[in-house]
């Protein structure tokens, strides 16, 4: 259904930002309609069977309809153009909407568990009906379909809101399945499990709520960029021109899906033509913007390439870093030669897993330099941090 509707209402020649918003609105409208239908069906089933688990599941679907309204509104607001109060656009509204949806999920889980505990303490018989069973089976099928299309489109347009909705729909599938099993067991074996399965359903929903909240809170707090995006940036920068010798200090600012700003340092030959190098950097910034949909600012770091003594010192220091930890890297290497000693000035990039050992590692490098290179060589080290592959 969603695929058919998207073909009818979302044109291929639409701008990417408009296409993304259209997908989000379509999923939001579909979510409202389907969840209201499920609420009505389960409400009828709950009244027929006198099952608290089914009634709770019905109101969970009603809250999902409300979440779909929030999702729909968020996509409408996030497409607004930047203004004086929000110069980087309104894209983070999607993250806020996802957080609201997560909050609703958690509240529903709490209420469901509380009511179910009461049913465990004071069990009551439920009424069997084939209509109830058919409604629950239909609900499971609908929720599985909703989880599928929200997950698929959420990945397609990189939407935390839709991914949170997909997680919620999947947890609803499990929850309704548990309710169905409880209803069948009570009918065939007279086991009063309605309250216990209500608690189980609440547990499913609670876990889903925490997972969805984490996915939306992380980008608001400043989570690291995806490794795939970092790799794409570094490969594009380092492979753009032979005059770019390396890159480091990548910083990514996320102002919502499709609204990224990045800054990165690119190493260039100190002996090169400044104007020609500046032109290369300008072209690279445009290429990053076009291919990765981000606003890029690149800082040129001059690197001495034609002094054999400096090259040899850099090689020796790199070997020392590798002996301390294979993941240590270095950049901005400079040499200041004085009458009594020589300063080796550089930055090391330290994995976060080693952050509590930064001073120890700095001292170890300095000691190794004095031992291997010479007692008149001193290190001036600044420490940067990054995510490690092991983290």
Determine if the pTM surpasses 0.85.
no
Is the confidence at residue 155, as pLDDT, over 90?
no
Share of the chain above pLDDT 70, in %: 90
The model's pLDDT over 77-133, given as tens digits with 9 standing for 90+, comes to 766 777 777 777 777 777 777 788 778 778 878 877 887 787 778 776 666 678 888
Look over the chain and give the mean of its residue pLDDT values, rounded to a whole number: 82
Domain 227-386 has CATH 3.30.70.1350: yes
What is the mean predicted confidence (pLDDT) over 235-241? 92
Residues paired with residue 247 on neighbouring β-strands, in sequence order: 266
348 in Cβ contact with 321 (< 8 Å): yes
Is the confidence at residue 159, as pLDDT, over 80?
no
Is the confidence at residue 5, as pLDDT, over 70?
no
What is the mean predicted confidence (pLDDT) over 132-145? 90
The C-alpha torsion from 381 through 385 and 387 to 391, rounded to 10°, is 80
pLDDT at residue 273, rounded to an integer: 92
pLDDT at residue 361, rounded to an integer: 93
Is the confidence at residue 391, as pLDDT, over 60?
no
Residues paired with residue 139 on neighbouring β-strands, in sequence order: none
> 180 burial class (0-12, 13-18, 19+ CB within 10 angstroms)?
buried
The model's pLDDT over 193-203, given as tens digits with 9 standing for 90+, comes to 777 777 877 78
* Band of pLDDT at residue 141, cut at 50, 70 and 90: very high
State the Cα–Cα distance between residues 287 and 141, nearest whole angstrom.
Answer: 45
pLDDT higher at 385 or 31: 31
Residue 55 tokens read as 């009634």
Q: Which fold has domain 2-221?
A: Alpha-lytic protease prodomain-like (1.20.1510)
C-alpha 348 chain-centroid distance: 27
Most confidently modeled of 57-66, 247-256, 375-384? 375-384
CA-based torsion, 347, 348, 354, 358: positive or negative? negative
Residue 367's SS3 state is helix
Residue 222's SS3 state is coil
Q: Where are the domains of the chain?
A: 2-221, 227-386
The model's pLDDT over 275-333, given as tens digits with 9 standing for 90+, comes to 999 999 999 999 998 888 788 999 998 888 888 999 999 999 999 999 998 888 898 89
DSSP state of 33: H
Is the confidence at residue 389, as pLDDT, over 50?
no
Residue 133 tokens read as 């069973």
The model's pLDDT over 37-93, given as tens digits with 9 standing for 90+, comes to 999 998 888 888 877 777 777 877 887 787 777 767 766 776 677 777 777 777 777
Share of the chain above pLDDT 90, in %: 25
What is the mean predicted confidence (pLDDT) over 25-47? 87
């Amino acid at each position: 259904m969603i695929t058919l509707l998207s073909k009818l209402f979302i044109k291929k020649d639409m701008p990417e930002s408009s296409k993304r918003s259209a997908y989000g609105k379509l999923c939001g409208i579909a979510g409202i309609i389907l969840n209201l239908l499920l609420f009505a069906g389960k409400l009828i089933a709950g009244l027929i069977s006198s099952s608290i688990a089914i009634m709770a599941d019905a109101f969970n679907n009603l809250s999902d309809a409300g979440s779909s309204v929030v999702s729909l509104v968020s996509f409408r607001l996030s497409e607004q153009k930047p203004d004086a109060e929000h110069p980087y656009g309104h894209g983070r509204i999607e993250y806020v909407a996802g957080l609201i949806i997560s909050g609703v999920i958690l509240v529903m889980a709490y209420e469901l568990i509380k009511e179910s505990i009461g049913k465990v303490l004071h069990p009551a018989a439920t009424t069997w009906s084939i209509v109830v069973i058919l409604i629950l089976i239909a609900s499971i099928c609908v929720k599985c379909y909703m989880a599928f299309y929200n997950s698929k489109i959420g990945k397609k347009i990189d939407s935390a809101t839709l991914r949170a909705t997909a997680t919620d729909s999947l947890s609803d599938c499990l929850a309704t399945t548990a309710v169905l099993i409880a209803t069948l067991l009570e009918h065939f074996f007279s086991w009063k499990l309605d309250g216990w399965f209500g608690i189980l359903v609440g547990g499913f929903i609670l876990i889903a709520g925490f997972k969805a909240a984490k996915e939306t809170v992380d980008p608001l707090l400043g989570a690291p960029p995806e490794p795939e995006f970092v790799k794409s940036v570094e490969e594009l920068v380092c492979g753009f021109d032979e005059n770019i010798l390396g890159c480091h200090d990548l910083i990514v600012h996320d102002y919502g899906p499709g609204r990224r700003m990045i800054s990165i340092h690119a190493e260039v030959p100190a002996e090169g033509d400044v104007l020609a190098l500046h032109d290369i950097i300008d072209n690279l910034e445009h290429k990053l913007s076009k291919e990765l949909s981000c606003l890029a600012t690149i800082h040129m770091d001059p690197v001495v390439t034609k002094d054999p003594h400096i090259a040899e010192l850099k090689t020796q220091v790199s070997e020392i870093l590798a002996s301390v930890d294979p993941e240590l890297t270095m950049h901005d290497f400079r040499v200041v030669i004085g009458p009594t000693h020589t300063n080796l000035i550089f930055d090391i990039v330290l994995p976060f897993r080693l952050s509590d050992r930064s001073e120890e590692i700095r001292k170890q490098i300095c000691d190794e330099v004095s031992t291997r290179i010479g007692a008149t060589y001193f290190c001036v080290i600044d420490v940067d941090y990054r995510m490690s592959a092991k983290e």
